[in-house]
Amino acid sequence: MDLIRKQTYITPDQDRALKQLAKEYQLSEAELVRRALEYWLATQETKNDPFQDLIGCFDGPAQGEHDDIYQ
């Protein structure tokens, strides 16, 4: 796995919690941060189509035939 070094600031409470979790799970703090980021990214909505929210909003010939509007 290729890794890129990043530097960030966290609060003292976050630092204490991270250290405790690292000790509890026997993982490095960096690994826990990577896993937390990966989890967060996986839970975010991805919108591949900027028009997705508009489909079906308008009356007219494209209603019900939304795939045709891309041609």
30-66 confidence digits (pLDDT tens): 999 999 999 998 888 766 677 777 777 776 665 556 5
Q: Tell me if 20 is assigned to some domain.
A: yes
Domain count, the chain: 1
Q: Tell me if 32 is assigned to some domain.
A: yes
Query: What pTM did the predictor assign?
Result: 0.61
Kindly list the distances between the CA atom of residue 34 and the CA atoms of 12, 39, 51, 54, 56, in Å, as whole numbers in the listed order.
19, 9, 32, 35, 39
Q: Tell me if 29 is assigned to some domain.
A: yes
Q: Tell me if 2 is assigned to some domain.
A: no
Domain that holds residue 20: 10-43
Where helices occur in the chain by DSSP H, the ranges are: 12-25, 29-43
Q: Tell me if 28 is assigned to some domain.
A: yes
Q: Tell me if 37 is assigned to some domain.
A: yes
Mean pLDDT of 12-23: 98
pLDDT of 18 > 90? The answer is: yes
